[in-house]
Structure formats: C-alpha cells, structure tokens
C-alpha cells in the first residue's frame, strides 16, 4: 500500500513461506517506476536467507528493503489494515465458512483506495 492508499494485494491459501514472500516481493519490484522503499515487519519469512539474499538484486531495481523497529506494531500499516478490515469491513457472516470469508475479504481488499480510504496519521 502506498501513501495514497492504493493497495496491491495477493491472496494465498495455506501457509506463507519464504518462497512465497520472495515471489510477492519480486512481483512488486517489477511494478515500481521510481526509487521505492519496501517496509516490512520482522516476520521470520522477511528475515529468511532466501528473502534477504535478494536484497542486492532488488537494490539494482531501485527497491530498498527496510524493516520496522522490532516491537512497534503501531508503525505496521499492514497490521492496521488487517485490523481495519476485520472490524470494519467484514460482517460476522463472513466467518461462517472459508469460501464466504475468502469472497468477503477479496471484496474488501478491492475497495481499499477507491471506496474505502484509510488515513495513517
């Protein structure tokens, strides 16, 4: 998500591992058109050798990898977005079954930036 609340998201079923994190970061790197910082939390997949080994390659593409300070959830926009969607965009019925949750979550994610703006200040 950029500062203008434009969101690019990808949904995975199952566990997200370092390989998936590399794929998503590589896809993001291909989209950038100017010097960009990718700000990440300190999740083990972001600190994995597979993920961090790609940092030099990404830097050549004008993509700098930056990590949030440990124990700073108030700075983690992804966590704020997750909380916002869970408590403001997903009705109780969304949690009745997996397919329903997947559909409601997809709908909520597509509305971020257009019908739904989140202010992070």
Express each pLDDT in 7-29 by its tens digit: 777 787 888 899 988 988 888 88
Domain count for the chain, please give it: 1
Residue 121 has pLDDT above 60, yes or no: no
Contact present, 85 and 57 (Cβ < 8 Å): no
Is residue 88 a part of any domain in this protein?
yes
Is residue 40 a part of any domain in this protein?
yes
Residue 30 has pLDDT above 70, yes or no: yes
Is residue 118 a part of any domain in this protein?
no
Is residue 57 a part of any domain in this protein?
yes
Is residue 75 a part of any domain in this protein?
yes
Predicted TM-score (pTM) above 0.75: no
118: confidence class by pLDDT, cuts 50, 70, 90: low
Query: What is the pLDDT, as a whole number, of residue 96?
Result: 92
Lookup: tokens for 59: 């830097």
Q: Which residue has the higher pLDDT, 121 or 80?
A: 80
**Spatial CA neighbour of 46 closest among 25, 60, 15, 73:** 25
**Spatial CA neighbour of 37 closest among 62, 73, 70, 57:** 62
Contact present, 109 and 1 (Cβ < 8 Å): no
Q: Which residues form the domain of 94?
A: 18-111
Is residue 66 a part of any domain in this protein?
yes
Is residue 53 a part of any domain in this protein?
yes
Is residue 120 a part of any domain in this protein?
no
**For 115, what's the count of Cα atoms within 13 Å in the CB-facing half-sphere?**
7
């Amino acid at each position: 998500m950029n500062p203008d609340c434009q969101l690019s998201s990808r949904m995975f079923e199952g566990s997200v591992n370092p390989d998936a994190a590399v794929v998503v970061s590589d896809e993001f790197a291909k989209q950038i058109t100017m010097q960009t910082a990718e700000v990440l939390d300190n999740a083990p997949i972001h600190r994995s050798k597979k993920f961090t080994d790609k940092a030099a390659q990404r830097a050549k593409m004008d993509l700098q990898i930056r990590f949030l300070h440990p124990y700073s959830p108030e700075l983690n926009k992804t966590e704020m977005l997750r909380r916002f969607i869970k408590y403001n965009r997903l009705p109780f019925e969304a949690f009745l079954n997996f397919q329903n949750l997947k559909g409601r979550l997809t709908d909520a994610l597509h509305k971020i930036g257009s019908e739904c703006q989140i202010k992070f200040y």
